[in-house]
Structure 1
Amino acid sequence: MNRIHLLCLALLAISFTNGAHAQSTPGKFYMKVSGGYFFSVSPGQFPDVGPYPPRDERVAINPTTGATTTLSEKVLTGSYGEGVRGGLSFGYVLNKNFSIEGTFCYYHSSKNLMTKNVTTIQGTNTVVGSIESHGHVNAVDFAPSLVVSPGYEKFNPYVRFGVVVPLWGRLYIETEATRTSAVPGQPAAVVAQTAIHRKEEIKPNPTFGFQGALGFNYAVARRLDIFAEAEYRNVPVKGKSKEVTEYDEVTRVVNTATGAEIGRQTRGLNDLSTAERETEYKTVLDESSNTPTSTTGSKTNYKNDNAPANDLKSYINVGGLGLNAGVRFRF
């Protein structure tokens, strides 16, 4: 990462140093404002959402024995490379054919279905449990690049290539879950209905990627151009840590024959243990890792409930192929 930061600083230093000797020449410095949409081109299997794998599953349960049968199962794949981007670029024209520029970019990905599980009573369509999670990425990055063009005045095609240095980013995952279960010692008509809303944020490890674009500038005034380009980005990201930021659990004990609520229990964010709330990702899990040991209702018990849990690192890609367009102001 230090080498990448030094490269970014060096490119900016060159532009400002050369600019000090060329202030009398108009059009050397420029600024670009752009917006665009990117599409996923390298889908892969999504990471697990806690204990739930990236699957779309339909399961039937035998109410007498508790045995389950998988009716259908589908692996969920995709990437976080699809979404909208907005950029602000600063550049300097070195000569007729070469320019350097640096772009600050904000990215918001589309939502992805990461896990889904629906459980019905065997032989019926009665749903007694469901889990559904969606995730999206927000990120800010800096992309220094070299621009090569033939240097035409009116219509000037160009090739741009360089690196991508993420400055900030989060993977947000929201989960909605419901479950209906029998209450020990109560008639069959009395059931416990649980609803859970959960939101978590995954922080990434430092990384960098690559980007390249093919586009054109078209002069519409002496100091104003419009431009459009096709851009490809490849930015692999691996998780560093995860934190549950929202948690709301409500369990109602209901008599289904009369609709009367007999009792209610709730759990909030402050009721979660440290291990349930915080996770540190590891490349390898071993006997010393803080992993789950059992469950008590919806509560997960760990070897040490008072320390962050450990889980295997997950990988996502926030790169893609997209189209950018905008305006360029020359100074």
Structure 2
Amino acid sequence: MLTDPFGRQITYLRISVTDRCNFRCVYCMPPQGVPHVPHERIMRYEEIAAFVQVAARQGIRKVRLTGGEPLVRADIPRLVEMISAIEGIEDISLTTNGILLEKYAGALAQAGLKRVNVSLDTLNAEKFACITRGGELEKVLRGIAAAEAYGLTPIKINTVIMRGINDDELVDLAKLTLSHPWNLRFIELMPIENQRPWGEGFPPPEDIFMPVSEVMDILQPLGLHPVELSGDSGPAIPYRLVGGVGTVGFISPLTEQHFCQRCNRIRLTADGHLRPCLMSDAEIPILPALRAGEPVLPLLQEAVNKKPVSHQLAYHISPNGRCMIQIGG
């Protein structure tokens, strides 16, 4: 088993398969965009699968594919199929903005994908287009319906909390779980290269952060009841509304004192760097070793050994080497 210096067992690998996206979400990338990594520096599917094989032998059991937007990468179901066939991998999932999900849900399910997380920060089509800089809400909703139809469940809905942007919709978003068996999670905004102005119509970044505690206060009149944590809860603390068929979860990386103590994950960027902590710039390159036929297990062990006890946001230390789209979240 992979165990970090603080006794946490690392069983979860998040893999960014591309730094490209068909959205330009205001909290994920700067208005001017980011320079794309040249194609030859992006990990090939065979290289990703080879690394997952090594990781699975060391106790990695859960894999999540991210981006950028993973569905813009050509033939992504093939990678799902390759990873699903690796001995030891018990769960493979995918995080998506949902815009292409209607097209690919069937092929992904057939390839072995278990479930999806879909980003949904608003139920207002005009606001959705502003936040995503051009996305179409209706296509995302159709994508969620397609994922349900093909059994990519339970569906998780990721909502980033933004004061002055979507805080007026928190109740309506939570109420989705009254009629849908979705696990909706409210996520605190993380300061990862998004603290410069977001553009016309948006509040200053320093005014946008809203803690989970305020969201819970707003939702209390709906009747929030704690739900027992499951092995699939991840960092979310789940609740259920009275009469709800789904759950409402809260992810508080900035305000929860013990958030990092439950961390069981490590990340692999699209250009082949292991990232021990989302909110630290520390990275270990593995692609040169893979392409040279050299062992990558020592590099995986190095990355696990470099996991910090927690992030340093309380000391105003945040990552500035990459924005979220370049990491994979």
TM (norm. structure 1) is 0.24
Higher percent of residues as helix: 2
The one of the two structures with greater contact order (alpha-carbon pairs below 8 A, sep at least 6) is 2
- Structure with the higher fraction of residues in strand conformation: 1
Greater C-alpha Rg:
1
